[in-house]
Amino acid sequence: MHYYRYSNAKVSCWYKYLLFSYNIVFWLAGVVFLGVGLWAWSEKGVLSDLTKVTRMHGIDPVVLVLMVGVVMFTLGFAGCVGALRENICLLNFFCGTIVLIFFLELAVAVLAFLFQDWVRDRFREFFESNIKSYRDDIDLQNLIDSLQKANQCCGAYGPEDWDLNVYFNCSGASYSREKCGVPFSCCVPDPAGGDIVRAKGSGPCGVFLQLKSKWDESIFTKGCIQALESWLPRNIYIVAGVFIAISLLQIFGIFLARTLISDIEAVKAGHHF
């Protein structure tokens, strides 16, 4: 294959620099995600011992941040360089990857709607697995606490799920100070402000897991799966709006890339004559 240079380029500068501007945002966002992820790992000492990632039973939220950062950085870089250098190979890579991501998102949405029971079971397994690792990673702990506080829920299907965690477990072999309790993110907020303070000898939020009669006044009794299921119908228009906005951005990027590729191919074809 020969590379032909042409002096009188007729490639549309409008599409070229619009695509560059479109991608520079994603590239910079990817840099930010990667920077935040690597900083978080350095704070936890993971960069000095990468085996910590494999030893964790639950999911490390930083891994998700890094994965998103890698994808955004790679696509942004390919789109920026492909647009500036009029490189068809990079532009095809950018366009093809965006198309793949778009159809993956569509497939996940359709399958999640069709197989709701299966998705619910997988989510429960996922949540319970992370409950077991609640104290193993500070980022995972903060993520679960934020989820429980925002949705006023506790555990996957209820407070009993926290018996799966070694620190909150009610077995006689446990000597944890949090034995038979729940995280403070499960506590019903005190009207005076803040969470209910743990009374001496009465467990977190002032209740033990065995004392179900006191749950309603002290902790959230709804599981987070039920809370999310009830949240979705109430916010279906917001969710649909976000999905449509993301889809339109992706379609716009595909349109720009395909238009620029067509322009470059047309200019190269005209150069041969």
Number of domains present in the structure of the chain: 1
* Structural domain contains residue 77: yes
Instruction: Answer yes or no: are the C-beta atoms of 22 and 80 closer than 8 Å.
Output: no
Domain membership flag for residue 39: yes
User: Is 184 domain-assigned?
Assistant: no
Domain-embedded: residue 190:
no
Contacts of residue 186, Cβ cutoff 8 Å, sequence gap at least 6 = 148, 154, 155, 159, 162, 204, 205, 219, 220
Examine residue 124 and state whether it is found in any structural domain, yes or no: yes
Q: What is the span of the domain harbouring residue 267?
A: 13-45+59-135+235-272
How far apart are alpha carbons 160 and 198 in whole angstroms?
Answer: 19
Domain assignment present for 3: no
Q: Residue 269 phi/psi, 5° resolution? A: -65, -40
178: in domain? no
User: In this predicted structure, what is the pLDDT of residue 201?
Assistant: 39
Q: Does residue 91 fall inside a structural domain?
A: yes
pLDDT by 10s per residue, the chain, length 273: 444 444 455 677 888 889 999 999 989 999 999 998 888 777 666 655 555 555 555 567 788 888 999 999 999 999 999 998 889 999 999 999 999 999 998 998 888 888 888 888 888 888 888 888 888 878 888 889 999 999 999 988 888 888 888 888 877 666 677 777 888 888 887 666 554 444 333 455 655 665 666 677 778 889 998 898 888 888 889 988 998 999 999 999 999 999 988 888 888 776 544
**Beta carbons of 161 and 230 less than 8 angstroms apart:** no
